Chains A and B, each alone.
Chain A
Amino acid sequence: EAQVTQNPRYLITVTGKKLTVTCSQNMNHEYMSWYRQDPGLGLRQIYYSMNVEVTDKGDVPEGYKVSRKEKRNFPLILESPSPNQTSLYFCASSLGLGGANVLTFGAGSRLTVL
Chain B
Amino acid sequence: AQSVTQPDIHITVSEGASLELRCNYSYGATPYLFWYVQSPGQGLQLLLKYFSGDTLVQGIKGFEAEFKRSQSSFNLRKPSVHWSDAAEYFCAVVGTSGTYKYIFGTGTRLKVLA
Residues of B within 8 A of A (CB-CB), count: 25
Output the least CB separation between B13 and chain A (Å). 21
Assuming the contacts A99-B96, A100-B32, asked whether A105 and B45 have C-beta atoms less than 8 A apart, the reply is yes
Assuming the contacts A99-B31, A105-B44, asked whether A42 and B106 have C-beta atoms less than 8 A apart, the reply is yes
Output the least CB separation between B104 and chain A (Å). 4
Q: Are A97 and B100 within 8 A (Cβ)?
A: yes
Q: Are A42 and B90 within 8 A (Cβ)?
A: yes
Assuming the contacts A42-B90, A99-B96, asked whether A107 and B41 have C-beta atoms less than 8 A apart, the reply is yes
Q: Mark A56-96, 1 if CB is under 8 A from B, else 0.
A: 00000000000000000000000000000000001010000
Q: How far is the CA of A46 from the CA of B46 in the complex (A)?
A: 21
Q: Give the chain A neighbours of B94 by CB distance below 8 A.
A: 99
Q: Give the chain A neighbours of B102 by CB distance below 8 A.
A: 33, 43, 45, 103
Assuming the contacts A99-B96, A106-B43, asked whether A43 and B104 have C-beta atoms less than 8 A apart, the reply is yes
Contact surface of A with B, Cβ cutoff 8 Å: 4, 33, 35, 40-45, 90, 92, 97-100, 102-103, 105-108
Q: List 14 A-B contacts (CB under 8 A).
A: A4-B43, A42-B90, A43-B90, A90-B44, A98-B100, A99-B51, A99-B95, A99-B100, A100-B51, A105-B36, A105-B45, A107-B42, A107-B43, A108-B43
Extra contacts besides A4-B43, A42-B104 (5): CB < 8 Å: A35-B104, A43-B44, A99-B31, A100-B51, A103-B102
Contact surface of B with A, Cβ cutoff 8 Å: 4, 9, 31-32, 34, 36, 41-46, 49, 51, 90, 94-96, 100-102, 104-107
